[in-house]
Amino acid sequence: MNSQQIDGVPDIDRQNSEAVMATYKNTKDAIPGENGRLEEMGRNCYVYQSDGCANTGFVIGERGVLVIDGQPTPALSQTALEKLREVTDKPVKLLVLTHFHADVSAGISGFEPGEIIASDLTRRMSDTRGKQEIQVARSRFENVFGGLPHGTPPVVPSMTIASSMSIDLGGCEVRLMHLGRAHTMGDLVVWVPQSGVLFAGDVVQTEAAPYCGDAHLADWPRALDRIAAFRPSALMPGRGKPAQGAAAVSTAIENTREFVTGLRDAAAACVEGSMGLKDTFEAVKDALSPQFSGRTDFEEHLPFNVARAYDEALGLDQPQIWTLERCADLTDALAGGSGIPAVPEPDSEADQPAVHPEDNPPEDSGNQAQEPQGTLETASEDPSGELVSDDVFAQSLLGDEQPSEGSSDAETSGTEAVEDEKVLEDARQ
């Protein structure tokens, strides 16, 4: 990839960007923020990585910077911002949250963004389980969240979208899209067409074991199909090295798919065989370890991943809220105690979330013409609740020739569709 220049400032030295980061098996073993570096993924697109932390993406336009996902604490976000200042001094206009988890949302104040954008469903999850998420994150990863001020509240986005949004950063178009339930029910991905770069958040991993504690395992592979339909030349995963080149992107997507489907299928087989949670955990670990045990946080995430896969196999569509008490129950269950119930009771707050009134649009600051302009594009409401076919979906997203009349009728089985899933039918050029 050729080095680019922005505002006359040369990009980081690509040779230095290949510096070796510390090798660690679990996030809790890392020194958070160590070995921070910025890597170019494509024209105007960068990824910031550091030990023990999630990735943060940057897209730079003439009007300002769009940030994709923050860091766990404000101080760590400020460190990432300092790295960004090596290539541009443009202000941070927008920050996009790909999902609600604390590792990407708790520290976003360090970027001082003009607007915070998330999906409607991420806003809902932040409202219903954000407080518990921060508490559990502190407990699980004390080294990472030690610098997070006590009393930090869950993030409240200033703008939410149901399906998609196109943003003009000034000479750089950015598309935000909800491609279906996967890592969480509200995941957004960020696509930069002119650079061929896709920021996937935790929907795709390259080196880390996916976290599936709030996942929808049956739906996740469909979201991966839709990411692959873009044919990205580079992809930022939730953490770890970016995938550079079509082959690396394809490998990352397929490895993520194999992990998710392997977890799902192994747990489902155990439930079908009337196995308890502890025995299911051991069976799933045996099934996944040969291929994935060397990945970062494989052991750390496995109890949560198995618990969610077990619940889903039992028919619980919405993930239960992770609280400190439930984490203790899980530990007890895997140690052979009574633990969490074999047939979990649906949490009314999670399964029947309150309907929020429409968010008010940002107030007119008087210089709106200078701000990046976003155009909200909502998916059509098909009374059948079915999704558009993958072929039509891919054509519309990639800007290929428009589907012929009548081709938008969904061929996907209604049993595979879910009410929460908002799918972009036509990404306007």
Tell me, what's the pLDDT at 337?
A: 57
CB 315 within 8 Å of CB 268? no
pLDDT band at 80 (very low <50, low <70, confident <90, very high): very high
Tell me, what's the pLDDT at 382?
A: 34
- Mean of the pLDDT values across residues 180-203? 98
Bridge partners (DSSP) listed for residue 94: 66, 115
Task: Rank 347-356, 357-366, 400-409 by mean pLDDT and report only the highest.
Answer: 347-356
Tell me, what's the pLDDT at 102?
A: 98
Distance CA 22, CA 52 (A): 9
pLDDT band at 136 (very low <50, low <70, confident <90, very high): very high
Tell me, what's the pLDDT at 47?
A: 98
pLDDT band at 25 (very low <50, low <70, confident <90, very high): low
CB 304 within 8 Å of CB 213? yes
**pLDDT exceeds cutoff 60 at 380:** no
Is this structure's pTM higher than 0.85? Answer: no
What the block records as the tokens of 127 is 């409202």
Helices 246-272, 220-228: axis angle to 10 degrees equals: 170
**pLDDT exceeds cutoff 50 at 393:** no
Tell me, what's the pLDDT at 326?
A: 97
- Mean of the pLDDT values across residues 211-223? 98
Distance CA 242, CA 245 (A): 10
Tell me, what's the pLDDT at 61?
A: 98
**pLDDT exceeds cutoff 60 at 359:** no
The contacts of residue 332 (CB under 8 Å, 6+ apart) are 338, 339
Tell me, what's the pLDDT at 333?
A: 95
